[in-house]
Amino acid sequence: MATITPDETDTAAETDEQVLDEERDAFVDKFPTEARLTRWTFLVAFVALGIGGLFGLIQALHRTGAFRGFVSSADYYTILTGHGVLLVLVFTTFFISGFFNWAITRSLDRGSVDPRVEYGGFAMLLVGTVLAAVAILGGLFDSVPLSADVLFTFYPPLQAHPAFYIGAALIVVGSWVVGLGWFRRFWAWRKNNADERIPLQAFMVLTTMVMWYVATIGVAIEVVVFLIPWSLGLIQTVDPILARTLFWFFGHPVVYFWLLPAYLAWYTIMPKLAGGRLFSDPLARIVFVLFVLLSTPVGFHHQYVDPGIPEGFKFVAMTNTMFLLLPSLLTAFTVVASLEHAGRQQGGSGRLGWLKTLPWGKPAFSGMALAGLMFAAGGFSGMINAGMNINYLVHNTLWVPGHFHLTVGTAFALTAMAASYWLVPQITGKRLQLRGVAAIQPYMWFLGMTLMSNAMHRAGLIGVPRRTAEPQYEAFNYAQTVGGYGEMRIQIALGGTLLFVALVMFLAVMFATILAGKGGNLRVNSEFPEPLSGADDAPKVLDNLRLWAVFALLLVALAYGFPIYSMIQSGALDPSIPAVPVSLAGWLPI
């Protein structure tokens, strides 16, 4: 990496510890309506995180045999559905809604055009969550006639109560409505600022939402056209391959819907926390545009073993997936360069000596930095998943949850927690409480995840399945360099427990802060120093959101048009095909 020379005259970088004057300029004072919405979304996100995390602990102990007293092995799948849905659908969507709401307000310096839109979207998200959660948790009680043991991928022929699908649909539509509020704000801003560059954080929010609108078309069609009518008994059959294809049309780009908010934090907040500046605004814009273009036409990489999809389409999806490594490598470069600059500004020297001057004791910084580090490891195991032939080795094994606990489970979740340490004071006007607990929390998460995820990866390599309450593996013989299955199980149980402890620490800090009295000046603010290379260095075409949306749709049409057409040709929509489950019809008394 090129060495960045410290610039003695560089004084723009403010430090996080700077105590503001009597006239504090907190986000909550300037934009009370927007701050309130973000508080609400965060509150729901934290509750979902707490319950989802508890379910994670139950799973980690149950499937390793460390403790099976919480639930029966049949109810394991109810818990697992709750874990997946509450964490990757509810926690993520609510946190992102609040976080983006802050980012767009701050960077356009403008409140909502009509807050009823954003609040309306929030209400839909909330009603959807309650419906889905009640349907899932109903599965734990025999007296409640609801259940939704379909896991977060809800593949037919597994069927849930209609409330689950309606809830999921409301969550998606609610996110569209909240996003509409942000676009209206942007259009209003554009009217008065025709020639200005879109401020960076607003650019990131809007490009992520363009991608999200394109991506959610798939799941919206799946749920509204097929699953809701099917669960209500209005149609008898759903073609499993078509449903899976529509799900993964959405299911891959959704990971960027989680990741890009983390990128927003790494590009814009982290350099400031480190006492530096963003290295390059143009590179950041290019990265987000690449994600708009490439995120969606890759979903078949989740269906490498599905029959009925020609290998050629899977191969195209693999190639596109490998291209997606590019924006992530650009991000690694830009973020690390920004941090190196910051470290050298504080007097750090030597090839790696600048790392020592970074603020590792500040949980907002350390959380984001550790999340980024784990994301790098997740990127490597993701490449294994994406390789068409090597995927067969790890498909549906514990390797896969091992992988995504590094990505969504840490790159997103730990960044969200770290950002909360910094942002919650600004949206509540209260100083962060239990700072000592907060300071060690990210390290605790990192340690727990290192143990759990590493052991999950290794267990997957020897073939231990995912989504299994009681994997029976002791008697299997396999070559092992170190340890064995027993040792992996201990690491998973121990890592899961440490993760849960870290989660409780985070929630304790958050609720102590939310419940604390107002008063005193904040230690943090939302002012950002100018990037080293600013927006003026970026080609103007990057800001043409419409152009990128059109290209994204074209690529999606190319990648999905032919395969979906051929599925329909071979009878996917034909009502005379036998009812699912095909293989069991007529064989079992169901």
Contacts to ligand HEM by CB under 6 A: 53, 56-57, 59-60, 63, 80, 83-84, 87-88, 91, 151-152, 401, 405, 408-409, 413, 466-468, 496, 499-500, 503
Residue 151: contacted member of ligand HEM, Cu ion, none (CB under 5 to 8 Å, by partner type)? ligand HEM
Residue 88: contacted member of Cu ion, ligand HEM, none (CB under 5 to 8 Å, by partner type)? ligand HEM
Backbone φ, ψ for residue 430 (5° rounding): -115, 145
Residue 500: contacted member of ligand HEM, Cu ion, none (CB under 5 to 8 Å, by partner type)? ligand HEM
Residue where the block lists tokens 């997957």:
460
Catalytic site includes residue 489: no
User: Is residue 465 helix, strand or coil?
Assistant: strand
Residue 252: contacted member of Cu ion, ligand HEM, none (CB under 5 to 8 Å, by partner type)? Cu ion
Quote the least distance from Cβ 471 to ligand HEM, whole Å. 8
For position 62 contacting Cu ion by CB under 5 A, the verdict is: no
**Positions 197 through 256 that interact with Cu ion (CB under 5 A):** 252
In the complex with Cu ion, the residue whose CB is nearer, 63 or 252, is 252
Quote the least distance from Cβ 398 to ligand HEM, whole Å. 7
Separation CA 175–CA 95 (nearest Å): 11
Quote the least distance from Cβ 206 to ligand HEM, whole Å. 24
Catalytic site includes residue 404: yes
Quote the least distance from Cβ 580 to ligand HEM, whole Å. 20
Separation CA 210–CA 208 (nearest Å): 6
Quote the least distance from Cβ 464 to ligand HEM, whole Å. 10
Close Cβ partners of 114 (under 8 Å, ≥ 6 residues apart): 181, 184
Cis peptide before 363 (omega within 30 of 0): no
Chain CA centroid to CA 573, Å: 33
Active-site pick, 63, 106, 244, 466: 466
Catalytic site includes residue 63: no
Residue 401: contacted member of ligand HEM, Cu ion, none (CB under 5 to 8 Å, by partner type)? ligand HEM
Close Cβ partners of 401 (under 8 Å, ≥ 6 residues apart): 456, 466
In the complex with ligand HEM, the residue whose CB is nearer, 92 or 345, is 92
Residue 496: contacted member of Cu ion, ligand HEM, none (CB under 5 to 8 Å, by partner type)? ligand HEM
Q: With contacts defined by CB under 5 A, how many residues of the chain interact with Cu ion?
A: 1
In the complex with Cu ion, the residue whose CB is nearer, 40 or 313, is 313
Active-site pick, 404, 446, 473, 528: 404
In the complex with ligand HEM, the residue whose CB is nearer, 95 or 422, is 95
How buried is residue 147: exposed, middle or buried, by Cβ count under 10 Å (0-12/13-18/19+)? buried
Half-sphere exposure of 132 (CA within 13 A, CB side): 29
In the complex with ligand HEM, the residue whose CB is nearer, 53 or 174, is 53
Quote the least distance from Cβ 386 to Cu ion, whole Å. 7
Separation CA 42–CA 96 (nearest Å): 9
Bridge partners (DSSP) of residue 244 are none
In the complex with Cu ion, the residue whose CB is nearer, 387 or 529, is 387
Chain CA centroid to CA 119, Å: 22
Catalytic site includes residue 466: yes
Catalytic site includes residue 161: no
Residue 176: contacted member of Cu ion, ligand HEM, none (CB under 5 to 8 Å, by partner type)? none
Active-site pick, 110, 395, 467, 523: 467
8 A C-beta contact, residue 102 and residue 27: yes
Residue 403: contacted member of Cu ion, ligand HEM, none (CB under 5 to 8 Å, by partner type)? none
Least Cα distance to 433 among 441, 442, 425 occurs for 425
Separation CA 409–CA 419 (nearest Å): 15
DSSP character string of 259-274: HHHHHHIIIIIHHHHT
In the complex with Cu ion, the residue whose CB is nearer, 252 or 489, is 252
How buried is residue 462: exposed, middle or buried, by Cβ count under 10 Å (0-12/13-18/19+)? middle
8 A C-beta contact, residue 259 and residue 97: no
From the DSSP assignment, how many helices (H) and strands (E) are in the chain? 21, 0
Active-site pick, 244, 252, 277, 341: 252
Separation CA 165–CA 526 (nearest Å): 39
Residue 510: contacted member of ligand HEM, Cu ion, none (CB under 5 to 8 Å, by partner type)? none
Close Cβ partners of 475 (under 8 Å, ≥ 6 residues apart): none
How buried is residue 164: exposed, middle or buried, by Cβ count under 10 Å (0-12/13-18/19+)? buried
| Residue nearest Cu ion (C-beta atom) | 252
Catalytic site includes residue 341: no
In the complex with Cu ion, the residue whose CB is nearer, 161 or 252, is 252
Active-site pick, 277, 301, 341, 403: 403
Separation CA 400–CA 396 (nearest Å): 7
Quote the least distance from Cβ 339 to ligand HEM, whole Å. 25
User: Is residue 450 helix, strand or coil?
Assistant: helix
Active-site pick, 46, 256, 375, 500: 256
Separation CA 223–CA 150 (nearest Å): 13
Quote the least distance from Cβ 244 to ligand HEM, whole Å. 14
In the complex with ligand HEM, the residue whose CB is nearer, 344 or 466, is 466
Separation CA 343–CA 530 (nearest Å): 17
Active-site pick, 83, 161, 341, 405: 405
Quote the least distance from Cβ 386 to ligand HEM, whole Å. 18
Catalytic site includes residue 279: no
Residue where the block lists tokens 């090597």:
390
In the complex with ligand HEM, the residue whose CB is nearer, 250 or 279, is 250
Separation CA 217–CA 223 (nearest Å): 10
Quote the least distance from Cβ 84 to ligand HEM, whole Å. 4
Least Cα distance to 377 among 407, 414, 413, 334 occurs for 407
Q: Catalytic residues, which ones?
A: 252, 256, 403-405, 466-467
Residues within the interface to Cu ion (CB under 5 A): 252
